[in-house]
């Protein structure tokens, strides 16, 4: 499937020309797939939690926190559980939502738009939250998907360390494959706490990315989509 992210800019210098801080601040990413090691699932979820809890306890110790305090002593295990079972659960393919397709018996041939899908993700450069809304649209090629599944697909890809451009394209290409149609659009409007809480500390800006395939590349369809979303 071809991708079309209107807000992905060409980078004039190679990744090797950037230092690690620049890569984080410039929000560069290396491809459509989330970078994963080949042995990413050699450990069970429980083993991962135990290891993360141990390592996070060390981090807290290095920072000078007193882990014997009643408020802090359970934090390493809480963080480990949160990472594996909640905010990064989208890293594990077993958590991908199962999707059933249905024949388009209503013969509805116009675009379907699910807008204002709230999601929480995390910036892969600083591991701080990305908070935003996704707008998803498609035109049926003969089959349709349950509305809640659109939300679940957004949530699945959001629940991993992310870059917004990659998140946008992952949702778009997955829906194209599931629905067997190029006619898919995704718009994401999000706030990055790595921008608002550190670095430039700009609390008012937001980032918008988009994916337009098939009919949504046509100006008239794009204008119709924007009317549904923004009016």
Active-site residues: which are they?
A: 123-126, 164, 192, 194
Beta 161-162 vs 111-123: how paired, if at all?
parallel
The rounded distance, in Å, linking the Cα atoms of 91 and 159 is 7
Residue 108 CB partners (closer than 8 Å, separation 6+): 140, 144
The rounded distance, in Å, linking the Cα atoms of 101 and 117 is 20
Task: For the chain, list the domains and their CATH numbers.
Answer: 15-95 (1.10.286.10), 101-230 (3.30.1130.10)
Residue 147 clears pLDDT 50, i.e. is over it: yes
Q: Give pLDDT tens digits for 60-116.
A: 999 999 999 999 999 999 999 999 999 999 999 999 999 999 999 989 999 999 999
Sign of CA dihedral 30, 187, 91, 200: positive
């Amino acid at each position: 499937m071809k991708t079309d992210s209107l807000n992905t800019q060409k980078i004039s210098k190679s990744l090797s020309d950037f230092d690690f801080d620049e890569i984080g601040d410039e929000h560069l990413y290396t491809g459509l797939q989330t970078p994963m090691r080949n042995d990413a699932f050699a450990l069970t979820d429980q083993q991962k939690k135990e290891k993360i809890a141990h390592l996070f306890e060390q981090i807290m110790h290095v920072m000078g926190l007193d882990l014997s305090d009643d408020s802090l002593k359970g934090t390493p295990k809480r963080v480990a559980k949160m990472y594996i079972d909640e905010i990064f659960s989208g890293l594990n393919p077993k958590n991908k939502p199962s999707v059933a397709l249905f024949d388009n018996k209503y013969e509805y041939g116009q675009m379907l738009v699910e807008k204002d899908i709230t999601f929480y993700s995390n910036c892969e450069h600083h591991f701080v939250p990305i908070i935003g809304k996704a707008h998803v649209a498609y035109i049926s090629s003969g089959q349709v998907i349950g509305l809640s599944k659109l939300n679940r697909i957004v949530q699945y890809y959001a629940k991993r360390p992310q870059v917004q451009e990659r998140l946008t394209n992952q949702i778009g290409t997955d829906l194209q494959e599931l629905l067997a149609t190029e006619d898919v659009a995704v718009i994401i409007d999000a706030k990055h706490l790595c921008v608002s809480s550190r670095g430039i500390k700009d609390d008012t800006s937001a980032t918008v990315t988009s994916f337009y395939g098939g009919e949504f590349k046509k100006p008239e369809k794009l204008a119709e989509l924007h009317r549904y979303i923004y009016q």
